[in-house]
Structure 1
C-alpha cells in the first residue's frame, strides 16, 4: 500500500492541506508562522513580502464577498445560471411549511435536499422518487437544522468530480467516490470497513490523506436502504456504499482523473469560477459522461466550494498525485 509523502514532523495536528502549504513554503525558504493553530491560520514571509493564509486556500486573492457568494448556494446558483452555466433545477425555502407544502412537486422525482450554507456535505439528504411525506419531512428538517434556508433540487445521475481551480488553470480533477467497501464473499461489511480503515492513509480530523469510514446510524441507514446491515456478507466483487454523499471527509475515496476529463469540462469549471469572481475554488461537477463533450442532459455544476482541500489531489486514493501547494504560493507572488 503506497503511503502519502511524508510531511514535516511537528505539524501533524494541523489540517493536512495546511501541512502541504507549510512543506512547500519551507522548501522555498519562506518563513512560516502559525498565527492560530486551531484555525490553521498562517503567516508566510519572504523578505519584505508577507501573506496570510487560512486553511491552505483562503487568501487575499479572493474577496469576502466572493467567499459569501460561493458559500451561499442560492447566490452561487444565481451567478452561474445568469452566466449560462448548467445548474440543477430547483427551489429555495426559508420556511419549513413552504418546503413541506411543495412535497407533491418533487414527489415523483429523485431530489437533493440541502442547507443553503454548508460544507463537507453536512445536512445534505437524497430523497428517492415517491419517498413518503414522513421521509421527505425528515430530510427537510435535517437541512433546516444546519441553515436558515434550504434548497430542494433535481438529482443529477452520475459520479461527482472536484475541479480545483487555481488562477486561470484547472490544476487537478478528482472523482470523489462515496465511502464504500468491496465484498470478497467471506467478510461482513463491518469487517471490510475495519480492514479498509487499517490503510495508514486513513485517520480522523482531516490530518491524514483519507478519513476512516464510520459505522454510525447514518451509515446503518444507507446500508438498510440497500438491503444490507453491518453483519451482511456482500458477494465477491460487489461494491457496497456506506454514504450517499461523496465527501472524502466522510470516508470517501479520491481518484485522480485530471488527464481523463474532456477539456471542455475544464473550460466550464473556469467559467464557473469567473462567474463567482473566484481565484481559488473547487468546482463540483456531476456527470455520467465526463470524458465526452459536455451535454446539458448529462452534467450539471453542483456548487462552487470556497475552501477547497488540497490533500485529495496531492494524496489521491488512486491515480496520479498532483502537486498543488506550489501553485498557490506562485499565485501569492512568492519565489
Structure 2
C-alpha cells in the first residue's frame, strides 16, 4: 500500500505507528496531546476517560514486570518453555570470554547470536555452520556491544512471522523478509539497493511504512559470505539477501499472511502472550510450514516483543492491510 503523502500532515516527525493511533483517535473524537514528541508519548482524552500511550503500543494494560520479562530474552525464553511453548535450544552468556570459548560447541551448528535486551533486531547476527572464528567473534562482540548478556541458540530454518496479539486475539500476521534485492543481470547490488530505496514508502527512523536498506559493514559481511560485494551484478531474477535478520527496521519487506496461517499457530501465539501475561505484544514464530498444522520439528517461538510496531500490518509491502490502531483504542476502553 503506497504512502506517497504523509499519513498525517504536520505529524510526520512522529513514528508512523504513533501516527496511526493519532489518526484513529481523531476519527473517534478523542482529543490528542503530544506530551513528548521525541518519545512518541501521547495523552488521549474522551470526556473523563484519560489514557497515556507511548510508542503506540505501550499502555497501562501491561505491567512494568511484563515489559521487563518480554524485553529480556532469557526471562521470556524461560516463561515460554515453562508454559510448554517450543523455543530454540541455546545458551546465555554474561561474559565475552564465555561466549567465545564455546565456539567449538557451536561450530557445526547454524546459530543466532543476539543481545538479551534489545529490540528491532539491533545487534543480532546469524553465523553459519563452520563459519571461521573471526566471523563468529564479530557477531558475539556486536551483540555484547548492545547488552551485558547475550544468547546463542540454534537457527531454525524457515521464514519468520510476526503475530500481533491484542488482548485475546491475533489481529494480524506478517511474514518479515530480510532486506533483499532482485537482480536484473545489468545493475550492481549497490545500484539495485539505491533503486529499491526510491520507493516512497521507505525512509529512516520508523516514520515511514518501510525502512531504507543500508549498505554498512553488516550488509557487506553478509554479501561476503555469498562471495559477493556491493559491486556484484546478480543474475536476472536472482534474489540477494543483505541481512540475515528479518526485521523491517533493517530494510526488510512486510508481507501480510493473516488469512494463510494455520489456526493452531494463532493459538500458539496467544499461549506465548499469556505466558508473559502480555496484553499487547508481538510474537515472532519461525516455521517452514506456516499453513500446516504445527510440527515441533518445523517451528519455534523466537521472541515476545514488548513494543510491536503497527505499521508493518497497516501498510505491508504486499498483501492485505490490517486496521490495528482502532483495536488498541478498543482495548483501552474508548468508544
What CA distance in whole angstroms lies between the structure 2 residues aligned with 1:175 and 1:260? 11
Q: 2:242: which partner in 1?
A: 242
Give deviations 1:51-71, integer Å, cap 9, x for gaps. Answer: 000000000000000000000
Cα distance, 1:152 vs. partner?
A: 0.8
TM-aligned CA distance change 1:4 to 1:297, over 3 Å = farther
Q: 1:135: which partner in 2?
A: 135
TM-aligned CA distance change 1:5 to 1:20, over 3 Å = farther
Q: Is residue 298 from structure 1 mapped to residue 298 from structure 2 by the alignment?
A: yes
What CA distance in whole angstroms lies between the structure 2 residues aligned with 1:63 and 1:246? 28
8 Å Cα contact 2:6-2:12 kept in structure 1:
no
Cα distance, 1:220 vs. partner?
A: 1.5
Q: 2:81: which partner in 1?
A: 81
Q: State the TM-score, normalized to the length of structure 1.
A: 0.98
Q: 2:177: which partner in 1?
A: 177
1:256-275 matched pairs, under 5 angstroms: 256-275=256-275
Gaps in structure 1 of 5+ consecutive residues: none
TM-aligned CA distance change 1:5 to 1:172, over 3 Å = farther
Q: 2:93: which partner in 1?
A: 93
Give the count of matched residue pairs: 335
8 Å Cα contact 2:92-2:149 kept in structure 1:
yes
Cα distance, 1:134 vs. partner?
A: 2.5
Q: Is residue 72 from structure 1 mapped to residue 97 from structure 2 by the alignment?
A: no
Q: 2:194: which partner in 1?
A: 194
What CA distance in whole angstroms lies between the structure 2 residues aligned with 1:138 and 1:218? 10
Gaps in structure 2 of 5+ consecutive residues: none
What CA distance in whole angstroms lies between the structure 2 residues aligned with 1:29 and 1:314? 21
Q: CA RMSD in A?
A: 1.1
Give deviations 1:173-196, integer Å, cap 9, x for gaps. Answer: 000000101111111111111111
Q: State the TM-score, normalized to the length of structure 2.
A: 0.98
What CA distance in whole angstroms lies between the structure 2 residues aligned with 1:38 and 1:175? 29
Give deviations 1:175-225, integer Å, cap 9, x for gaps. Answer: 000010111111111111111111111111110001111111211121111
Secondary structure, aligned partner of 1:261: coil
8 Å Cα contact 2:103-2:136 kept in structure 1:
yes
1:205-284 matched pairs, under 5 angstroms: 205-284=205-284
